[in-house]
Amino acid sequence: MKKPSSKIREEIAKLQEQLKHAETREAERIGRIALRAGLGEIEIEETELQVAFEELGKRFRGGKPGTSGRKGAGESSTSGGQSEALASGAAAGSSTEA
């Protein structure tokens, strides 16, 4: 049995809201950790910080073994969705916890 398009739109809207809340929780968590690590006090360009977060993500997702995290520092992937959430979470966390 096929669902009417209105039901599908409702489901999509609910899922988008769930995604928004999940991303907010993740960003806040990473932001708090970044602040505790002292990243809120470091003056660094947002693009540099994003690259560093991407390298950290690769390290923990099982990227290339034996990498130090410095070799590809100039390289940036275009999977910015999660990285933006992380960076914005660090920024958002800095205004609430200092």
**Residue 62 — left, alpha, or beta (φ > 0 → left; ψ -120 to 50 → alpha)?**
left
State the pLDDT at residue 65: 53
Q: With DSSP H G I counted as helix, E B as strand and the rest as coil, what are the percentages for the chain, rounded to 5?
A: 70, 0, 30
How far, in Å, CA of 16 to CA of 9, rounded?
Answer: 10
State the pLDDT at residue 64: 62
Packed helices 80-96 and 46-60: angle between N→C axes, nearest 10 degrees: 110
State the pLDDT at residue 79: 44
Mean pLDDT, the chain cut into blocks of 10 residues (98 residues total): 93 98 97 92 91 92 59 44 45 42
* List of residues 6+ apart from 46 with CB closer than 8 A: 87
